[in-house]
Amino acid sequence: MIRIACAADVDRLKQIWSECFGDGEPYIDFFFRNAFVPASTIVAEEDGQVCAMLFLLESSVCFQGQENRAAYLYAAATLPQYRSRGIMGGMIRFAADFCRSAGFHSIVLVPAEESLFGYYGRSGFKTAFYGAYESFRVSEHTGPAAAVLPVDIPEMERMRREALRQCGGLMWHGREFCYAVHEHLFTGGEILFTRAGYVLYHREGDLCCVDEWIARPDREEELRSALQHSVRAAEYRIIRPPRAGDDETAVRARGMILPLTDDHNFTAGPADKPYIGLTLG
């Protein structure tokens, strides 16, 4: 049986999360305290026990200047002994009907590994979101750096909306954006915030890994200099919104979409590379 979750399912959902993803209790509790909404969580039961789950978070997508409501499908998992029975496929169909009736235009997800693009493709999802990957080494010849300021999450959200209105992509709003940022911090990430843009990053020894890079138009170099001045590293690896002129090998598929309505074309054109950067997990 597939159904909407209720508060009584929480302990079982935490068990499934721990067994399927291997996350520790602090992280699991963090999600359930701050982002869990039973009414937008779908579960499957077998033998009287919940054996699979998926969560739907409120978001929107912007394609070709048009923004529509979307559900972000997160942490889909089935206990190992119940796999290969078609349970998750049934849950995705249930989620599509549920989201369509709730007024969502699409469901979006980020496959956890390359092989899952094919798996979700069989359920109707299409590759639709990208990220541009680049790396650079520390330079002694950086230009003027934007001043580093105290983190301002509402302003970060405005910067992100401004950038994504130009290139398209997955947008987080209000509570969900705040959760995504705090989840980044909770998992050891750091934030560099300036008037030129912001950087979400984490450190791995001498490597600075940038999970999201949002720069205001024409202020990319100020942000780059601020990062190099503030975060000392031998190498910087970043994910940012794609832009015209990017080497094709640097732009990689990151997310998929399941259209739920016929009133909008969610298919990106050859030059369109809608962006997904800030994700969960």
Tens digits of residue pLDDT in 237-266: 999 999 888 888 889 999 999 999 876 566
If you write DSSP's letter for every residue of 119-182 in order, what string do you get?
HHHTTT-EEEEEEEEEEEE--S-----PPB----HHHHHHHHHHHHHHH-EEE--HHHHHHHHH
Question: What pLDDT score does 96 carry?
Answer: 97
Q: What is the pLDDT of residues 181-211, one digit of tens each?
A: 999 999 999 999 999 999 999 999 999 999 9
Question: What pLDDT score does 260 carry?
Answer: 95
The tokens describing 17, both together, are 């999360």
Asked if 172 and 163 count as a contact pair (C-beta separation under 8 A), the reply is: no
Q: What pairs with residue 198 in β-bridges?
A: 193, 214
What integer is the mean pLDDT of 143-171? 93
Share of the chain above pLDDT 90, in %: 81
What integer is the mean pLDDT of 120-127? 94
Asked if 200 and 215 count as a contact pair (C-beta separation under 8 A), the reply is: no
- Alpha-carbon distances of 176 from 161, 243, 278, rounded to whole Å: 14, 26, 11
Question: What pLDDT score does 122 carry?
Answer: 94
Q: What is the pLDDT of residues 65-113, one digit of tens each?
A: 889 999 999 999 999 999 999 999 999 999 999 999 999 999 999 998 8
Share of the chain above pLDDT 70, in %: 96
Question: What pLDDT score does 249 carry?
Answer: 82
Asked if 266 and 126 count as a contact pair (C-beta separation under 8 A), the reply is: yes
Question: What pLDDT score does 270 carry?
Answer: 45
